[in-house]
């Protein structure tokens, strides 16, 4: 990474130049908070504007009968080490925890009971189609079809961009639909056919050409990964005792200590540039009257702007200002209903840490048994259970849309009963919380990487402007955080040296 300040400059000169800058960050999700921190660190004046009443964006908490739970992101990937480094820098090293509760289960397998998700694959693609845990899901017929992959002549192997097409052609529809689709829907909210093999499983196509079969390639890649990481691939997520909301609280306190002014409940409606000065127009809700429309507030002037919202509001702000933004990516809307249950039947964690579903088999997309997965939450819940039910995926609206809060809670309870294999009664529901999110189009969807690069290039051609967040960096803290650091670094260099 480039150093924060150029080495040839006098420190006092740079400090004075930094102090003349005013950067406005629009959006207080993790991307905006991290970008604000990077600019404030070198002495720039920073104002962060967040439309909601709380910062954090997709890292959101809910209070269920006095128990604080993660209503959005609940963990972070250890990949690259940047999230962990930030968590440690913010003084939360002792709070880092590992998930428990065993693996996840699969529900909705045609003509077969629910079963644990097989271990030992990549994105659900098995290394051995005859392994008991795989055969239980795809049946003997599916296993023999998948085995054809091993017999096919290497000459038929080419470079297939679509993961779904690759899996279907080599190992058959059952492997694609019953093993791979639940994983891609759960992780990327996308059908396997839309997933870019090279982005989602780097090295798989090359290993396929090298070893001559897809299952062999999975085996070879997993062996490589184990050797590199000294651990089992797939186990690489961590959480924070007390919830991910603690990361947001610590980050907000940290940036405020650097002097960042954080304003919540302020929606940015437009940005304009005149020479090297930006004008940021905002709206604030009428505090005296909930029914009254939001009122325009005094505009802010700035020397730099960082747009850190999700894709739809970011495009609305950038449209007309930046050429070459291209077409928007599909952004799935999902809803998470979190339930607090008085249900001793769940003490034995009947479905491990949670359940993925075969697409089309259930109304819900996935379920997390949070008190089985996180020890800190189990303790906090005092014998009760927390279960998160997710609805909606790419191309399929969440089944809870249009329902009121009670209706959404009832549907989530019905789905939880089905997915956990336990009859849960409405009287066992202590509290419920529902949250809606617009998910960024996953980086692994075919064409997404090119689209992102084009937007990035267009934004970077506008002096004093930067854009961060999952719609450009890819979904997940491990993607958003290092990208926001790099993009803020680029902007502050440009501002200090123009």
- Judged by the rule CB under 6 A, the positions of this chain that interact with ligand FAD are 26-32, 49-52, 57-59, 72-77, 267-268, 308-310, 313, 336, 437, 439, 469-470, 475-478, 480
Residue 101 Cβ, how far from ligand FAD at the closest point, in Å?
15
The CB-of-284 to ligand FAD minimum distance in angstroms stands at 11
Nearer to ligand FAD, 81 or 426 (CB): 81
Give 3-state DSSP helix, strand, coil % of the chain, rounded to 5: 40, 20, 35
Least CB distance to ligand FAD at residue 23 (A):
15
The least CB distance from residue 83 to ligand FAD, in Å, is: 7
Cβ proximity to ligand FAD, 271 vs 380, nearer residue: 271
As given in the structure block, the two tokens for residue 454 are: 């084009």
98: left (phi over 0), alpha (psi -120 to 50) or beta: beta
Strand partners, 196: 162
Cα 473 to Cα 467: distance, rounded to the nearest angstrom: 10
Which residues fall within 8 angstroms of residue 420, CB to CB, at 6 or more apart? 346, 350, 351, 355, 367, 369, 387
- Closest by CA position to 444, among listed 122, 146, 207, 129: 122
Query: How far is Cα of residue 470 from the mean position of the Cα atoms in its chain?
Result: 7
CB neighbourhood size of 241 (10 A) = 16
Q: Which is nearer to ligand FAD, 31 or 243 (CB)?
A: 31
CB-nearer residue toward ligand FAD: 358 or 477: 477
Q: Is 171 or 403 the residue whose CB approaches ligand FAD more closely?
A: 403
Is the Cβ of residue 31 or residue 108 nearer to ligand FAD in the bound state? Answer: 31
| Cβ–Cβ under 8 Å, residues 463 and 494 | yes
Count of H-run helices and E-run strands, the chain: 18, 20
Query: Whole-angstrom Cα distance, residue 172 to residue 180?
Result: 11
Q: Cα(274)–Cα(207) distance, rounded to whole angstroms?
A: 53
Minimum distance of ligand FAD from residue 220's CB (angstroms): 28
Q: Is 175 or 467 the residue whose CB approaches ligand FAD more closely?
A: 467
Question: Minimum CB separation from ligand FAD for residue 186, in Å?
Answer: 11
CB 268 to ligand FAD: min, Å:
4
Q: Between 163-171 and 132-151, two packed helices, what is the crossing angle to 10 degrees?
A: 80
Closer to ligand FAD by Cβ: residue 76 or 278:
76
CB contact at 8 A, 232 and 245: no
Query: Measured from the CB of residue 167, what is the shortest distance to ligand FAD in angstroms?
Result: 25
Could you give the 3-state DSSP secondary structure of residue 477? Answer: helix
């Amino acid at each position: 990474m480039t150093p924060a300040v150029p080495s040839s400059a006098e420190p006092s000169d740079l400090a004075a130049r930094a102090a003349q800058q005013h950067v406005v960050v629009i959006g207080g999700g993790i991307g905006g908070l991290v970008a604000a921190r990077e600019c404030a660190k070198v002495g720039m004046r920073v104002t962060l504007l967040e439309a909601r009443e709380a910062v954090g964006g997709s890292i959101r908490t809910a209070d269920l009968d006095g128990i604080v739970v993660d209503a959005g992101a609940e963990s972070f990937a250890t990949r690259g080490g940047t999230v962990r480094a930030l968590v440690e820098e913010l003084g939360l090293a002792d709070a880092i925890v590992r998930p428990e509760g065993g693996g996840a289960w699969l529900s909705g397998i045609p003509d077969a009971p629910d079963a644990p998700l097989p271990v030992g694959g990549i994105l659900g693609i098995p290394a051995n189609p005859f392994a008991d845990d795989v055969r239980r899901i795809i049946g003997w017929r599916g296993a023999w079809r998948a085995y054809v992959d091993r017999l096919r002549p290497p000459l038929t192997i080419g470079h297939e961009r679509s993961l779904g097409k690759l899996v279907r052609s080599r190992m058959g529809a059952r492997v694609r639909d019953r093993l791979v689709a639940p994983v891609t829907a759960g992780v990327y909210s996308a059908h396997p056919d839309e997933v870019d093999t090279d982005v989602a499983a780097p090295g798989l196509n090359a290993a396929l050409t090298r070893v001559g079969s897809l299952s062999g390639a999975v085996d070879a890649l997993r062996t490589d990964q184990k050797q590199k990481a000294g651990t089992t691939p797939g186990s690489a997520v961590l959480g924070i005792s007390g919830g991910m909301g603690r990361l947001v609280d610590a980050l907000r306190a940290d940036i405020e200590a650097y002097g960042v002014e954080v304003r919540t409940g302020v929606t940015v409606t437009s940005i304009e540039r005149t020479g090297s000065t930006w004008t940021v127009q905002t709206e604030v809700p009428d505090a005296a009257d909930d029914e009254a429309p939001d009122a325009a507030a005094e505009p802010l002037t700035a020397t730099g702007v960082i747009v850190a919202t999700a894709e739809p509001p970011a495009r609305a702000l950038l449209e007309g200002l930046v050429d070459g933004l291209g077409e928007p990516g599909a952004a799935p809307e999902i809803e998470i209903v979190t339930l607090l249950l008085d249900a001793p039947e769940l003490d034995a964690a009947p479905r491990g840490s949670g359940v993925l579903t075969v697409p089309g088999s259930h109304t819900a997309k996935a379920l997390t048994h949070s008190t089985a997965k996180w020890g800190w939450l189990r303790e906090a819940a005092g014998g009760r259970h927390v279960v998160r039910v997710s609805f909606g995926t790419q191309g399929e609206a969440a089944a809870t849309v249009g329902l009121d809060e009670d209706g959404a809670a009832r549907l989530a309870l019905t789905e939880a009963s089905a997915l956990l294999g336990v009859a849960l009664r409405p009287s066992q529901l202590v509290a419920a919380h529902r949250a809606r999110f617009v998910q960024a189009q996953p980086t692994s969807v075919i064409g997404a990487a090119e689209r992102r690069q084009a937007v990035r290039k267009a934004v970077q051609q506008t002096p004093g402007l930067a854009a961060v967040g999952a719609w450009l960096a890819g979904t997940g803290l491990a993607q958003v955080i290092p990208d926001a650091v790099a993009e803020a670094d680029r902007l502050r260099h440009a501002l200090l040296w123009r």
